[in-house]
Amino acid sequence: MKKLIAKKVEMTQIFAESGEVFPVTLLVVDTKGKTLSTDSQGLALGSETLESFAEGEVVTVSGISKGKGFQGVVKRHGFKGGRRSHGQKHSEREAGSIGGGGRAGGRVVKGMRMAGRMGGERITVKSLKVIKMIQESGEIYISGAIPGRRGSKVEIKSQG
């Protein structure tokens, strides 16, 4: 399995000869060929470079998503919120009841969806296509959106 570490630069679009438009993410690979290697695979540091990948190849990309800080239940979990009338004064975007008697036994059940920190997690996106590569500058254009902010490191792996 081929692996590379690249830096996310920006999202842009590429026009094909036929006039088709592809949304792509521009990544820059260190031209020295630094890679993420595992001892079980027997890969040495720098054994994989940009030349290992080809245009049209299907890859998997992993990265750390953008951190969004402390968020409420409406944004974090997609809760609907309360009604805007009939006595709702300041509780329109609150979670509502979190348990009580009955099955829970007066405690909060593990895994209860509540407000908290959002983002900053490792996300893997599969089946992305390498659209274009520029060997001299170490640029690689991959179709679609890739997790992370600009300047963050992502891992590119070949599928197979």
Shared domain for 11 and 62, answered yes or no, is yes
Element (H, E) at 25: strand 21-29
Looking at the fold, whether 72 and 58 belong to one and the same domain comes out as no
Number of domains observed in the structure of the chain: 2
Q: Are residues 83 and 30 in the same domain?
A: no
Q: Are residues 44 and 83 in the same domain?
A: no
Q: Are residues 77 and 148 in the same domain?
A: no
Query: Domain limits at 127?
Result: 3-67+120-158
pLDDT in tens, 29-44: 865 544 445 574 544 4
pLDDT at 47 over 80: no
111/153 same-domain check: no
Q: Quick check: 11 pLDDT over 70?
A: yes
Together in a domain, 127 and 53? yes
What CATH number does the domain containing 148 carry? 2.40.30.10
Residues 104 and 126 in one domain: no
Per the CB < 8 A criterion, the answer to whether 62 and 1 are in contact is no
Same domain, 81 and 58: no
Phi and psi dihedrals of 106, rounded to 5?
80, 20
Q: Are residues 51 and 75 in the same domain?
A: no
CA distances for 87 relative to 58, 91, 107, 145, angstroms: 55, 9, 27, 43
Share of the chain above pLDDT 70, in %: 88
What span, in angstroms and rounded, lies between the C-alpha atoms of 113 and 18? 48
Question: Looking at residues 125-153, what average pLDDT do you find?
Answer: 94
Would you state the pLDDT for residue 42? 47
Give buried/exposed letters for 132-146 (b at 16+ CB in 10 A, else e): bbeeeebbbbbbeeb
56 and 132 share one domain: yes
Q: Residue 62: what pLDDT?
A: 96
Going by C-beta distance under 8 Å and a sequence separation of 6 or more, which residues neighbour residue 18? Answer: none
| CA dist 122 → 52, 63, 67, 148, 156 (Å) | 25, 6, 11, 9, 13
Digit-coded pLDDT (tens) for 61-112? 999 999 999 999 999 999 998 888 888 888 889 888 888 777 777 888 889 9
Locate all alpha helices (DSSP H) within 42-93, ordered by sequence. Answer: 73-77
Residues 16 and 29 in one domain: yes
Residue 141, pLDDT score? 95
